[in-house]
Structure 1
Amino acid sequence: MSLKRRTALLAGLGALALLQAPAALAQDYPARPIELVVPYPAGGGTDAVARAFADSLRKHLPQSVVVANKTGAGGAIGLTEVMAARPDGYKVGVGTVEMTMLPHLGTARFTAQDFVPIALLNAEPSAITVHANAPWRTVEDFLAHAKAYPDKVRVGNSGVGAIWHLAAEQLGRKSGVSFMHVPYAGANPAINDLMGGHIEAVTVSPAEVAQHVAGGKLRLLAVMADQRVKRFPEVPTLKEKGIDVSISTWRGIVAPKRTPQPVVDTLRAASQKAANEAEFRDALAKLDLTHAYADAPAFQKVIERDNAFFKQLMGELGIAK
């Protein structure tokens, strides 16, 4: 055999090996522990969902699932690490609604298209919450007061461009009200200031105020959802009141783009079983969090919907980059 033909043959065999390598690796997947990156600190809602899910997922995979908190930049650091990881299924992440927001703020290297959805696990709507001693018994009363005093009603949020800030902005736009938006380092400091009487309202999720509402310290006026929340069936939706606002945060499992399809399929199958484990559902219920499982195709539609929505909203608010 000539040197030229031998070189060509070796090159062809090398190319074939490269094509077969991902399939071979996927066939043995997972052969070692999987790292689940949480882009927010330990102890928060996203971390709690991740750890409860990891416990259930271990039952349906031959390898362990290790939770790693990679925090900072509003979730951008952890999500960037997942985006840049080798697409082999050994580093996946908890994707949150911020995947569809941070890119439009210009604070992230990634876009929503840089991730492969595996499973949606949880979703929580925004809600309008006031102090229990506030004079407003209904959302109509609250908005009427805000209209009478433009830019005077202080609404706490977790920073400009964060999900609950945008929820309050959209509420104002749809109801013809102008609020004074007060940023905090997170939902808890805002809630503490609401209980202390330093602000008039917050637009965080019902789960984040549930204990204080149950304890008689705070009052829920309405939720920004298509349906009422099971935990508070007496609280109306804004849509019931004629205000077309539905904004939620969500949490799910995502993998880096170009992850081999057999690996994605393995993760999807295991995630479906784990998400429907009674222990996982119970863990969410104890935290007043909503179980909202959806497989990859439906999860992808949620991502695409919110990516388009927040791009437009941030542009209209003048905060998109």
Structure 2
Amino acid sequence: MFFRTGFAALCAAATLSAAPLAAQGYPERPVEFIVPWSPGGGSDTLMRLVAGNIEPHLGVELPIINMPGVGGTVGLREASRRKADGYTISQVHEGLLVATETGITDLAWDDFEPIALMTASPQYLVVHPTDDYGNFEEFVSYAKENPGEITIGVTLGGVPHLHAAMIEQAFDIQFSYVGYEGTGERVRALVGGNLDAAIGDISSSLQFVESGDLAFLAVGSPERVEETPDVPTFMELGADLELNVTRGIVMPKGTPQEARDKMEAALQALSQDETYVEQTNNAGASVMFRGQDGYHAYLEKLDATVKSLSQVLAQ
């Protein structure tokens, strides 16, 4: 009897001690990375840098599976259906929040577990040079005096549309929107004088600013950008605005906390990896790490903003 009781106790103790060891052993196999965009685009490029550099920090590979379609929502739908065991991650940016609010998808950011914001591409208010305004303060004054006269190039119903609407809301001005499919197309229209302003970034616009064909009036990063030290942030100009295209990592809802913490720690270590940082900068983005709490807060605040602009974005 003692033998059976003692043996049972030993088994129970072994089971209890094995549980934390199993958690500590995660991950024990590669973690699939669903990138909901086509190969070669900005998100795909930046996520391949994550996948290509994380193994020393995570201990396993992150094989990428591209699942493009419907503004990134096809791949995210698949990711949301995956088993919440820590062996699937995916990537989101601001486009998901816009797609949710405009009815493109019934998926929402909080259908996932936000793990880490990894990169940000600060967005700029770019203008065609004019005598009507030479800086942002003069731009706002002109816009107030001439409501709806300034034409601005955006992707209608997309992230650039959201960013322009955020500027309108923050400074109580009104634009006339002109839709373009991509950043390059609207920047070319701006250079050609077919637009007054546009939402752009360094990779699409800096060469034209340096040649004098365009001008940056403000940037949506929390702090001034190293490549454009003379361009003020919207925060400096009096508005609590962050205008970025960010790329963050999410896991299926209900993924165990141990797996989320391990993935977050690996991504944080990666964000401090000099090789990864350099590669990301060379790809036209900046590393801007925010962990689970910070990323959740960022998405929650942005979601409230998107909801407040739903009527504008639906036009």
TM-score by length of 2: 0.84
Amino acid at match of 2:195: I
The equivalent position to 1:75 in structure 2, one of 67, 72, 76, is: 72
Q: What count of residue pairs does the alignment treat as equivalent? A: 299
1:26–1:260 contact (8 Å) kept in structure 2: no
1:159–1:186 contact (8 Å) kept in structure 2: no
2:121–2:284 contact (8 Å) kept in structure 1: no
By how many angstroms is 1:235 displaced?
A: 0.6
CA distance in structure 2 between the partners assigned to 1:198 and 1:23 by the alignment: 62
By how many angstroms is 1:255 displaced?
A: 0.6
The equivalent position to 1:221 in structure 2, one of 217, 220, 234, is: 217
Partner of residue 109, structure 2: 112
Partner of residue 194, structure 1: 190
Deviations 1:246-305 (A, max 9, x none): 433321111111112222222122212222110111012223312111221211111222
TM-score by length of 1: 0.82
Q: Secondary structure at the match of 1:101?
A: helix
CA distance in structure 2 between the partners assigned to 1:223 and 1:165 by the alignment: 16
The equivalent position to 2:173 in structure 1, one of 146, 171, 177, is: 177
Whether 2:43 is the aligned partner of 1:84: answer no
Mapping for residues 1-321 of structure 1, pairs under 5 Å: 28-131=25-128, 133-135=129-131, 136-160=133-157, 162-314=158-310, 317=312, 319=314
Identity in percent:
30
CA distance in structure 1 between the partners assigned to 2:49 and 2:206 by the alignment: 20
Deviations 1:208-252 (A, max 9, x none): 423433444321011234432222110112343345544333211
CA distance in structure 2 between the partners assigned to 1:214 and 1:37 by the alignment: 38
By how many angstroms is 1:163 displaced?
A: 2.0
For the aligned residues, what is the CA RMSD?
A: 2.8
1:23–1:262 contact (8 Å) kept in structure 2: no
Pair 255,273 (structure 1): closer, same or farther in 2 beyond 3 Å: same
CA distance in structure 2 between the partners assigned to 1:185 and 1:94 by the alignment: 22
Amino acid at match of 2:217: L
**Unpaired runs of 5+ in structure 1?**
1-16
Partner of residue 11, structure 2: none
**Unpaired runs of 5+ in structure 2?**
1-14
CA distance in structure 2 between the partners assigned to 1:140 and 1:158 by the alignment: 25
